[in-house]
């Protein structure tokens, strides 16, 4: 285990088994469709890569990078898009793949944006859900794990751009961000 980890919350095995289970459910529910699968950079990359490999339907891949101001910070009330989609979402079934839903700001805004651009449907798949922290009215359609209000790293998730490549999800030691 990495020295900055308090403890491991989800092991590689647990992640793999649950991601497979959720992906197979999505695959079943979308049979006959050809969704655009949108990964939110960078946090979702590892989950995204594992998730899509369990899908048997035809899909197209696309990515979005956003910056969220969070709830406490000064916010224009709008989401800032750092890298936009390559594809037009008009009339498309869009599956958003996200690492974690915290306040819900990012996904509430993204969902509204994609709808505004004419997506036929917007489905949210998230790896983690910190439901206790929710401030915006948004619910994932598929969630792999509910977690407590703790700062987690690994499997794509970072703290200050570190730890994304850890193969498990761990709880970050408080001493790392409280110093
Ligand atoms: P929201 O817009 O408040 O829902 O924030 C979602 C984003 O905050 C996620 O996409 C993550 O980038 C980040 N985030 C929230 N909680 C954590 C965490 O525990 N570890 C790492 N990133 C987090
Ligand atoms: Mg993120």
* Residue-wise pLDDT tens digits, 124-148: 999 999 999 999 999 999 999 999 9
**Residue 27 is a catalytic residue:** no
Q: What is the pTM of this model?
A: 0.94
pLDDT tens digits, one per residue of 2-43: 999 999 999 999 999 999 999 999 999 999 999 999 999 999
Read out DSSP for 12-24? HHHHHHHHHHHHH
Residue 100 CB less than 6 A away from ligand 1: yes
Best of 66, 82, 156, 157 to mutate for ligand 1, by most ligand atoms within 8 A of CB? 157
What confidence tens digit (pLDDT) does each residue in 32-76 have? 999 999 999 999 999 999 999 999 999 999 999 998 654 444 445
């Amino acid at each position: 285990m990495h020295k900055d980890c308090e403890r491991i919350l989800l092991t590689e095995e647990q992640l793999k088994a649950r991601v497979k289970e959720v992906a197979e459910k999505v695959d079943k529910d979308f049979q006959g469709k050809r969704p655009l699968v949108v990964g939110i950079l960078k946090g979702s990359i590892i989950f995204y890569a594992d998730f899509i490999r369990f899908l048997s339907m035809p899909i197209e891949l696309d990515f979005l990078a956003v910056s969220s101001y969070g709830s406490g910070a000064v916010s224009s009330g709008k989401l800032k898009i750092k890298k936009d989609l390559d594809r037009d979402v008009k009339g498309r079934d869009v599956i958003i793949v996200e690492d974690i839903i915290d306040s819900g700001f990012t996904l509430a805004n993204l969902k509204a944006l994609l709808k505004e651009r004419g997506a036929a449907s917007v489905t949210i798949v998230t790896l983690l859900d910190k439901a206790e922290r929710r401030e915006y009215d948004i619910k994932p359609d598929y969630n792999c794990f509910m977690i407590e209000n703790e700062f987690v790293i690994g499997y794509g998730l970072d703290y200050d751009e570190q730890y994304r490549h850890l193969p498990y999800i761990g709880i970050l030691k408080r001493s790392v961000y409280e110093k």
